[in-house]
Chains A and B, each alone.
Chain A
Amino acid sequence: MTSVRIIAIAVVLMLGALSACTKRSAATSPSNDLLIVGYDREPDTLNRFSTHILEDIQTCVVEGLTTTDERMNVVPLLAADVPTLQNGGVRLRPDGGMDVTWTLRPGVAWHDGHPFTSADVKFTVDAINGPNYNPESTDGFDRISSVDTPDALTAVVHYKEVYAPYDIQFIRGTLPKHVLEGRDIDRAQDYNRSPLGTGPYRVADWKAGEYILLERVPHYWRGDESPRIRRLMFKFIANTNTRINQLKSGEVHVVALVPWDKQRELAGLTSIVVHRTPGNAYEHVTLNERQFPPFADVRVRRALIHALDRELFTKTILDGLAPVAHGPIQPVSWAYTDRITRYPYDPARARTLLDEAGWRAGANGIRQREGRPLAFTLITQAGYAIRENIAQAIEHQLREVGVDVRVELHDGTAISALWFEGRFDAMLHWWQMPADPEITTFFAADRTPPAGRNINYFKDDALTALLYASDRSVDRAERTQLLHRAQAMVSEAVPEIPLYSVTRLDAVPASLQHFKGNPTNTGIFWNVHEWEIK
């Protein structure tokens, strides 16, 4: 009898617990009172200069002098205008340097009411270049010699040399001088956990491991009409399946960067729209010439790209979500050109090229030259279903032309160390490119690690000279022409194998109005002040 009684009691208790639970559902509808965002990680800090992931949360709180819009144009935010050569905001000095004059939007105040002025711009530069702070990157700031503040709304930034991406120098925002002056900013947890900004929201609560809650500021500078949505909640849900489950159950309303293999799961939901934004990143195979010398032969590189049916990859594995990429600059960029060499799927051509390069078919079907097989390892990051499938497809298709590929998976931290030290043959990955089309760091001969990200260890002096010339031009027309030539040269030389342009998928409520998306790491919240649930 004992066992039966125990089971009976347990069943009654379970039913009791469940019936107590059914009284309330955890799901809520998105509303102008509260929008819940499922977020894949908890930010380490909200100080935008301490972290490189331009976190969506910061975008809602801290504003830059400029931002990038849905078509990747640099547009003014706290600046009245984007300075250019044409409008006199940029002046080239005879000594090779340049001066950029930022005119600030009048009437903007920090959330504590303190006016936002050019002194904050100057303080930001001094803090980043100074000894009291360890920002993540000093890129660009290290080229600034000084900042003048002739009046409260004018900041003149003096560069030691011409710096082409000057227009996004302050895209991450500025640091409030009246809060941080004289302090150890790395340890200024009041600011780093709840930054003072000028944006539409402020941090209301940060529950470690659970969520960050933002609430609308009372008097946003765009007017009391915006933002429309009163509170934004960012819930930290690291597990992708759980995040997608919450979207389906209505416990979260927005998920940015939906993994591609989850897109079909969401397609049937009427309450959710999955927005597609052509991205500014491209998946590609890096060919490390230093580690695997056969890659140094352009015939081998061209053979590899001809051997891959990239159209098939995008149609099948990618479900048609992304177009084939042909180079490092994507169609969304103003610097993009399609006047480049393309390599259609042509395994016969691949075989001929490999034959010409001296790689003859061996006994086991693997090509050999001077007794050494054409065999290399392809590393990629574990945990991305699509990427793992692409790696297998590459392995299969290259095998068809007699190239032996072995796929190795590594976790994200381990793989960074591997590529930074150049200890790999080939790597499948992508770069998230900034809004500025600078590609020097990836292809200039002198920018191999640690000096840059040329992990192909590719060396071409003419291309290098061209890339540096493009970096030293602030004339859009001239820079466009230089970058077009650079893209043509890259496509001729095939230092790496571009696979596809990354498309961003963002799941938002069907009732959300004025969602625009964003191809860069500025993220989808750049126009959150316009969002409205209807």
Chain B
Amino acid sequence: MLRFLARRLLQAVPLLFVISGLVFLLIHAAPGGPLAIYLSNPNVRPEDIERLRRALGLDRPLWQQYWSWLAAFAGGDWGYSFSDGRPVAARIVERLPATLELVGVSIVAALALTVPAGVVSAVRRGRWFDRLTTAAAMAGISLPAFWFGLVLQIVFAVGLRWLPSSGRTTLGGGDFVDHVQHLVMPVTVLAVVQAASWSRYLRGSMIETLAQPFVLAARARGIPGRDVIVRHALRNAIGPVLAIVMVDAALLVSGAVVTESVFAWPGLGSLFTEALARRDYSVLMALLMLTSTAIVVFNVVADAAHALIDPRVVEA
């Protein structure tokens, strides 16, 4: 198992190297740069722009900029933010807890919706529950997150005034109930949207598994129906879904960009939006590398989890 994990992680290193080069090229290809924001100020003169360009090292050839970034990044130095001059690592670390909290709770909530919805609708295929979840899933997949979020705000914050419309805590609040109140709406948006697609995958995977001979064999041996579904069928069916869940989770950790921005959630997603608008190259590079690494690592974790459920995977 350990060798399996080590091999998978080592394979990832050259992949991440290639990704870093591509990402670097892409963000530099986007029009404008970190200095663009200064141009709109008539008092910033050409001499000022040149001085700032030199000070930020943006006057050097692109390959030099990449090389010095890569050397520093590999050595654990993520550099300084182009917009506020603070260390990039500090900016990311201060945003990380908010994102982990939001994404962690959302994934648990989404799984709590996914598993029963997926399993029951597969088992009772074509019955009213299946039709209901199918319709709900279609709605969930089609909902734009920002629109769904704004509707929740209008109903629960502006209309009913039950919930705070944005942020993570109230000033002077910060206790458990206050935290939960702030989490309800963004978690609802993320969980509903994720569960909508995950439950479809699980349903499909379950239907396939339930048709397998071993399920019939289990039934024939007189194993109770519920045990057949949970211990035999679900255990086999959830593997592929878990891989999808892990990749989605990795993307969410790097920032639930839209949801965080609608709910002014102080996580990595809103940091990414800000950094993108400012073309804050150093922060963008760090965030995108974090996402890539998270996807690679979570994929390995998904494989490992799959292997634990189904030992045949390690041998393959």
Contact = CB atoms under 8 A, between A and B. Distances in A.
Contacts of B42: 431, 433-434, 441-442, 453
The 4 closest A-B pairs by CB, nearest first: A209-B266, A26-B164, A413-B32, A52-B41
B84 A24 contact: no
A17 B266 contact: no
Contact of B167 (A136, A213, A235, A248): A235
Contact of A239 (B41, B95, B168, B261): B261
B214 interface: no
A241 interface: yes
B33 A24 contact: no
Interface in A169-191: 186-187, 189
Contacts of B100: none
A452 B39 CA distance: 10
Interface string B256-287: 00000111111100110110011100000000
Interface of A: 2-3, 6, 10, 17-18, 20-27, 34, 36, 41-42, 44-45, 50, 52, 134, 136-140, 142, 186-187, 189, 192, 207-211, 213, 233, 235-239, 241-242, 245-246, 248-251, 410-420, 431-434, 441-442, 449-453
A138 B129 contact: no
Interface in B33-69: 33, 36-49, 51-52, 55
A25 B161 contact: yes
B150 A245 contact: yes
A22 B156 CA distance: 10
B86 A189 contact: yes
Contact of B165 (A236, A242, A418): A242
Given A249-B161, A431-B42, A451-B46, A209 B271 contact: yes
B157 A251 contact: yes
A213 B49 CA distance: 32
B45 A137 contact: yes
B158 to A, nearest CB: 5
Contacts of A235: 167, 264
Given A44-B81, A52-B40, A417-B39, 11 more contacts: A3-B120, A6-B120, A10-B113, A17-B184, A26-B181, A137-B45, A192-B85, A413-B30, A413-B31, A416-B36, A417-B31
B36 A413 contact: yes
B211 interface: no
Given A134-B55, A245-B165, A413-B31, A3 B48 contact: no
Contacts of B91: 208
Nearest to B177: A20
Contacts of B167: 210-211, 235, 237
Contacts of B17: none
B165 A249 contact: yes
Given A246-B166, A249-B165, A136 B180 contact: no
Given A45-B84, A209-B267, A34 B171 contact: yes
Given A3-B116, A45-B84, A413-B36, A21 B273 contact: no
Given A26-B164, A210-B266, A52 B38 contact: yes
Contacts of A44: 81, 83-85, 278
Contacts of B164: 26, 251
A226 to B, nearest CB: 23
B4 interface: no
Contacts of B274: 41-42, 238
For chain B, give the interface size range. 35 or more
Contact of A136 (B33, B44, B95, B178): B44
Interface in B159-211: 161-171, 177-178, 180-181, 184
Nearest to B229: A2
A418 B31 contact: yes
A57 B33 CA distance: 26
7 contacts: A2-B120, A3-B124, A26-B170, A52-B40, A140-B43, A249-B157, A251-B165
Given A137-B41, A416-B36, A248 B277 contact: no
A414 B31 contact: yes
B85 A186 contact: yes
Contacts of B52: 134, 136
A194 to B, nearest CB: 13
Nearest to A47: B85
A242 B265 CA distance: 11
B108 interface: no
Given A137-B48, A138-B45, A238 B165 contact: no
Nearest to A236: B264
B44 A241 contact: no
B94 interface: yes
Contacts of A420: 36, 39
B106 interface: no
Given A3-B116, A27-B161, A417 B270 contact: no
Contact of A411 (B154, B181, B277): B277
Contacts of A417: 31-33, 36, 39
Nearest to A441: B42
A442 B146 CA distance: 39
B153 interface: yes
A3 to B, nearest CB: 5
B44 A6 contact: no
Contacts of A413: 30-33, 36-37, 277-279
Interface in B86-145: 86, 91, 94-95, 98, 113, 116, 120, 124, 129
A392 B76 CA distance: 50
Contact of A245 (B83, B124, B157, B178): B157
A45 B37 CA distance: 14
A327 B89 CA distance: 48
A248 to B, nearest CB: 5
Contacts of A186: 55, 85
B158 A249 contact: yes
B94 to A, nearest CB: 5
Contacts of A248: 158
Contacts of A211: 167, 171
A134 B86 contact: no
A137 B40 contact: no
B275 to A, nearest CB: 11
A52 B43 contact: yes
B157 A208 contact: no
A210 B116 CA distance: 36
A451 B50 CA distance: 11
Interface string B230-262: 000000000000000000000000000000011
B13 to A, nearest CB: 31
A134 B47 CA distance: 12
Nearest to B52: A134
Given A237-B166, A413-B277, A416-B36, A242 B264 contact: yes
Contacts of B150: 241-242, 245
A418 B40 CA distance: 12
Contacts of B33: 413, 417
A172 B270 CA distance: 29
